Structure 1
Amino acid sequence: MRSTFLSYAFVAVNAIAVSASSGEPVYAQSMVSAFAQSVAEAAAREGEVAAFYRANAYQPIWTGDSEEDLARRKALFAALSKAGDHGLPVIDLEALKTRISNVGSVRDLGAIEVEFSKLLVDYAQNVNSGILTPGRIDEGIVRKVNRLDGAEVLKGFTLTSPDNYLKTLPPKNAEYSRLMREKLRLEAAIQHGGWGPKVLAKALKPGQSGDAVIALRNRLVRMGYLNRSASRTYDASIQEAVQQLQADHGLTNDGVAGAGTLAQVNVSPEKRLASVLVAMERERWTNFERGARHIWVNLTDFTAKIVDGGTVTFQTRSVIGKNVSDQRSPEFSDVMEHMVINPTWNVPRSIATKEYLPMLQRNPNAVSHLKLIDRRGRVVKRDAVDFTKFTARSFPFAIKQPPSSRNALGLVKFMFPNKYNIYLHDTPSKSLFAREVRAFSHGCIRLGDPFDFAYALLAKQSRNPKATFHNALDTRRETQIALEQHVPVHIVYRTAIAPAKGRVTYRRDIYGRDAKVWEALKNAGVALPGVDG
């Protein structure tokens, strides 16, 4: 772009004003008033932008001919030209330049002034906290996003170096930068023809040969899992490459290319790129201070981690909510305050009425390990109740399970009080942690190693965390231990994961949420470079 194109427009408008008035300052003043009026009109429906200009007495920050205005225009155009690097909608800058070159009145100039401010605010908010409103995409994405205030964006931009200000806006966490690098890698793969033909086989295993094995070999080479090879047999090098791919995709890494493995091998780089763009948007949703120590639960890879100073210091397998409408685990952040050892399970009413009431209507002695409690807190004898008289709405009892090793919550639960009634807990159903896909709960997060998780949390406040835990456990009574240092908990959903070391890994879109996010991003104008548009 020409560096002075807008200055020319501004000078031309002022020249018209001066020549028409023979240089009289009264007319010049009227032109200033006309400009202010045009800005006020253009910004009237833009609340935060209008608030900035009211506070700024409608003075221009873009359309003047000063060095400061020129620097702001250059910085904004440079940022907008690279919006696609962040997976944001790309602005047609040439069309904008044409509009600017056609400025012929003070009214036009005021409209362009406001247009620039709107572009800055939109870019700042999009690159800082995301394009989309999470709650409008899926009812399980209940994450609240902190949007930058537009008036504060404009104010901050004018009070510092424009280039430096714009650099502060994107997420600063290393994961975001690594996702950006993966985006570039995938775009390059797409530009060079992708990863080759799909592997047309139901399953392949070591020792086999044939066209399907050759297709697998070639695809693994192009994906970066295998060095160039002329082998026509499923040999040890192909088996090792398959095992690495399986590990990177949350699969059982047995080296056999079964249906699940081949499904992941055959995913296109375009689809992987979409996953990366979605992950970048999700990173922007969580662009806030996560806590020097925090808990990171990624639903898609069935893990729960304790992170200290950016380093994972503890990790365990998890079980998440079933993939049914009322049991999927939600995405949100809160703060863990305490743990409960030997917990009582207060059965949620939805479970009590949907699952247990029909059982009790068929057999009053069903689920005998559970206690019925009336509204006065008394245990109810089942033989005194005709359960067939009740509906889900009229059922008058609470259902509880006392502490025991058979308790549905196991022997410990970790509480971060929230309106969704979600928490982390132990479980007696240990076999589920050996499954590849672990979506079996009613929504809460079950932990594979809950005791070790508790020790890690208590290590910050106890010289002997194991003894502290077991002293409470051995009482067999429900005991609450407060965490002296509350710990932020972030329940997230990432199908593209960029670890500090190694390649980016991918997971199944277990709830179909990322597909919805991608559709919303496309509707907002995001495109796959070289693929869409």
Structure 2
Amino acid sequence: MNKRETRAVFQAALAAGALWLGTALPALAEDGLTLKVTAFKQAVAENVADDDSIAAFYRARDFAPIWTGAGEGDRARRLALMEAFSLADDHGLPAGRYDPDRLLRRMSQATDGRSRGMLEIELTRTFIQFANDLQSGILEPGNVVDGIKREAPRRDPEMLLTRLTQEDPTAVFLSLVPNSPEYTRLMRAKLRLEHKIRNGGWGQTVPAGSLRPGNSGNAVVALRNRLTAMGYLSPSLSMTYDAEMEAAVREFQEDHAIEVDGIAGGSTMRAINVSPEERLQSIMVSMERERWLNLPEGRGKRHILVNLTDFHAQIIDDDKLTFETRSVIGAQGHDRRTPEFSDVMELLVINPYWFIPQSIIRGEYLPAIRANPYAAGHLEIVDYRGRQVSRETASAYANSGNFPFTMRQPPGPSNALGSVKFLFPNKYNIYLHDTPSQHLFRREVRTFSHGCIRLDDPHEFAYEILSRQVDDPVSYFKRIHASGENTRIPLETPIPVHLIYRTAFTKAKGQMNYRNDVYGRDAMLWRALTNEGVALRAGRS
């Protein structure tokens, strides 16, 4: 049912005075009423025994109802619940999970205290399920993709239920919607794209591998029509790849992180021919991901956002972009993919050592040292106290199969971490850093690291980070860098860092932006969402 139909059915039930949905409960003798209330409370107590939070809520109110009573408050909560369910599809939620039709039937059949008590808890559990799904996500992300190292930020059921009894229920349901501007824009884009699909989608795909300015013919017409349907080109009868089409292609390329040259080459044509249904899936996955970041404490007035699929790192202040630089992320191999998580940046290190990960030591350097003690001479070998170990000693341990040392590269121009690294201590040993391999930033797809995130403009990034605690961050940084000394600089105000993965995202103005699913994570999430009952609402074009 849509929102209007749900409200009509529910109000019809109210108008008919069906059972306790009407204006008053049926009159009962005092003894009968006592028995009915007792049966109700027993049913409630039995059905919440396995949930401490819900049980605590009902015990605190002596098992009185919040849904199934005859008072105005109960009626308002029931109506707000049903109206909220009617919007589940708008949010990309599994509408069948809440099934308002079945709940309405249950309401009409609840004729005694026990059945009403069981219905009370069913409504409560359905409310909690809906609140969790809408507020913090349908999935438990780490159970679907092992590279997602975050948990859905579930709220306490007792707190949610208490709010329902103390606040306007409609306002409570509205407050469950993630309040980030990104979620609002994604939902708007979802509704627009669903409307477009219902009305023919983007038309036929372009039957050409490549087109360029000056071309003409049927393929150019198909490209013109598709760009027009997407909103990149004004309607026209032109059959030529003219200046207007070239400008439209450039804008499309910008929104899809493709080299902006105005030529509809292979990468551009593949992106243009992606179906609107596939793009809709990406938007709905991004909405789910946005719910995972609907943190009770917020993301931070100032925070760092790294969208792995976009290959950029950003500094955000008060929801506005302050600084942005290109990034390189973990390579495609499963053991090198950059994980997704949130943490807090506590310090930066100028002239850092590079401490080699144990996986690289075991896989790359130990075999070389066994063959030649002086291999990898650019690296220092140190014990747990940071004291250097001789190559002969290290080789002996390497050949014995027990290597209790670590390896590090001293600060310098060839250091793998470059001149600065930014630390947000975490068990995954992931951080942001400089790199001498600057040529990689010219690539469209930048998946080359062992997992850490390399920055194209690390010095400028550091200046912006330090600007909140140093009067002249540029001179301050350059002086320490020139000294060559390994220097740790704690941040006076630590900065939250969020490593995210979005193949569909918005900008405050302009079209949707789409990126490739470089690690295949969104495909896995979409399959998991469909298994939970999420579906595309629009028919195929």
**What TM-score do the two structures reach when normalised by structure 2?**
0.93
Cα distance in 1 for partners of 2:49, 2:341 equals: 35
Does structure 1 residue 9 correspond to structure 2 residue 14? no
Q: CA deviation at 1:211?
A: 2.4
Aligned pairs for 1:287-366 (under 5 A) are 287-288=294-295, 289-366=298-375
Q: CA deviation at 1:361?
A: 4.0
- Quickly say closer, same or farther: Cα 1:208–1:363, change in 2 above 3 A: farther
* 3-state SS in 2 of match to 1:500: coil
- Quickly say closer, same or farther: Cα 1:120–1:389, change in 2 above 3 A: closer
Paired residue type of 1:216: L
Q: CA deviation at 1:151?
A: 1.6
What does residue 102 of structure 1 align with? 109
Aligned pairs for 1:150-161 (under 5 A) are 150-161=157-168
**Contact between 2:305 and 2:499, CA under 8 Å: does it hold in 1?**
yes
Q: CA deviation at 1:332?
A: 0.8
Q: CA deviation at 1:128?
A: 0.8
What does residue 5 of structure 2 align with? none
Cα distance in 2 for partners of 1:96, 1:357 equals: 65
What does residue 528 of structure 1 align with? 536
Of 467, 477, 499, which aligns to 1:491? 499
* 3-state SS in 2 of match to 1:474: helix
Per-residue displacement from partner, 1:145-204 (whole Å, max 9, x unpaired)?
Answer: 321111211111111111111111111111110001100111011101211111222222
Paired residue type of 1:370: L
Paired residue type of 2:289: R
Paired residue type of 2:229: R
**Contact between 1:353 and 1:395, CA under 8 Å: does it hold in 2?**
no
Cα distance in 1 for partners of 2:227, 2:372 equals: 57
Q: CA deviation at 1:206?
A: 1.7
Cα distance in 2 for partners of 1:299, 1:122 equals: 30
Cα distance in 1 for partners of 2:207, 2:375 equals: 50
Q: CA deviation at 1:320?
A: 0.5
Cα distance in 2 for partners of 1:364, 1:233 equals: 67
Aligned pairs for 1:490-509 (under 5 A) are 490-509=498-517
Paired residue type of 1:312: L
Aligned pairs for 1:120-269 (under 5 A) are 120-269=127-276
What does residue 64 of structure 1 align with? 69
Q: CA deviation at 1:390?
A: 3.5
Cα distance in 1 for partners of 2:336, 2:309 equals: 15
Q: CA deviation at 1:363?
A: 4.6
What does residue 32 of structure 1 align with? 37
Does structure 1 residue 382 correspond to structure 2 residue 391? yes
Cα distance in 2 for partners of 1:436, 1:297 equals: 16
Does structure 1 residue 285 correspond to structure 2 residue 298? no
Paired residue type of 1:45: D
Q: CA deviation at 1:95?
A: 2.5
Does structure 1 residue 424 correspond to structure 2 residue 429? no
What does residue 471 of structure 1 align with? 479
Paired residue type of 2:209: K
Q: CA deviation at 1:261?
A: 1.0
What does residue 458 of structure 1 align with? 466
**Contact between 2:40 and 2:115, CA under 8 Å: does it hold in 1?**
no
Q: CA deviation at 1:242?
A: 1.0
**Contact between 1:432 and 1:438, CA under 8 Å: does it hold in 2?**
yes
- Quickly say closer, same or farther: Cα 1:375–1:414, change in 2 above 3 A: closer
- Quickly say closer, same or farther: Cα 1:313–1:97, change in 2 above 3 A: same
**Contact between 2:351 and 2:411, CA under 8 Å: does it hold in 1?**
yes
Per-residue displacement from partner, 1:11-57 (whole Å, max 9, x unpaired)?
Answer: 89x97782xxxx2x233212210111122233333443333222221
Does structure 1 residue 403 correspond to structure 2 residue 411? yes
**Contact between 2:438 and 2:456, CA under 8 Å: does it hold in 1?**
yes
Per-residue displacement from partner, 1:59-104 (whole Å, max 9, x unpaired)?
Answer: 1111111111111111111111111111111133222222222223
Paired residue type of 2:18: Y
* 3-state SS in 2 of match to 1:85: helix
* 3-state SS in 2 of match to 1:3: helix
**Contact between 1:357 and 1:387, CA under 8 Å: does it hold in 2?**
no
Q: CA deviation at 1:439?
A: 0.7
Q: CA deviation at 1:407?
A: 0.3
| Structure 1: gaps of 5 or more residues | none
**What TM-score do the two structures reach when normalised by structure 1?**
0.94
Determine what percentage of the aligned residue pairs are the same residue: 50
**Contact between 1:426 and 1:447, CA under 8 Å: does it hold in 2?**
yes
Cα distance in 2 for partners of 1:145, 1:290 equals: 14
Q: CA deviation at 1:367?
A: 2.5
Cα distance in 1 for partners of 2:496, 2:156 equals: 25
Cα distance in 1 for partners of 2:150, 2:347 equals: 22
Per-residue displacement from partner, 1:479-522 (whole Å, max 9, x unpaired)?
Answer: 11111111111111111111112122111111111111111111
| Structure 2: gaps of 5 or more residues | 1-8
Cα distance in 2 for partners of 1:147, 1:508 equals: 29
* 3-state SS in 2 of match to 1:96: helix
**Contact between 1:425 and 1:446, CA under 8 Å: does it hold in 2?**
yes
Paired residue type of 1:266: N
Cα distance in 1 for partners of 2:530, 2:363 equals: 38
Q: CA deviation at 1:319?
A: 0.5
Across the aligned residues of Structure 1 and Structure 2, the Cα RMSD in angstroms comes to 2.1
- Quickly say closer, same or farther: Cα 1:172–1:376, change in 2 above 3 A: closer
Of 417, 421, 442, which aligns to 1:413? 421
Is the deviation greater in 199-208 or in 476-485? 199-208
* 3-state SS in 1 of match to 2:207: coil
